[in-house]
Amino acid sequence: MIQVRKTEKAFSPYAKQEVLDLGEEVFALKRIGEGDSVYFVVNLNSEKTTVNAGVHGTDLLSGEPVDGILKLGPYEFVWIKE
């Protein structure tokens, strides 16, 4: 996880960020650094949730493609590079 953070420009402390409204069950940010965008989405509940994040890219932790729909376990989070 630390290695991913070191390699992505969007995780720079100087990167821009905006809070996204994807519903009450999740907290989401978009971070933008030198043209790269990374989305952070976390499930705030103790139950599974599905959310339409509207983001297409790659999950930076698993390497799996993301098609916009996220199925998150309890308190699970993802980093998606657009």
pLDDT attached to residue 7: 78
Measured CA distances, 8 to 24, 35, 46, 52, 58 (Å): 28, 11, 29, 24, 13
Please list the pLDDT of the chain residue by residue as tens digits (82 residues).
788 777 788 888 999 999 999 999 999 999 999 888 999 999 999 999 999 999 999 999 999 999 999 999 999 999 999 8
Q: What pLDDT shows up at residue 17?
A: 95
CATH code of residue 9: 2.60.40.1180
pLDDT score at 55: 92
Backbone dihedral region for residue 13 (phi beyond 0: left; psi -120 to 50: alpha; all else: beta): alpha
Specify the pLDDT at position 6. 77
Q: What is the pLDDT of residue 31?
A: 96
C-alpha neighbours within 13 Å on the C-beta side of residue 58: 7
Number of domains in the chain: 1
Q: Which range marks the domain in which residue 56 is found?
A: 2-81
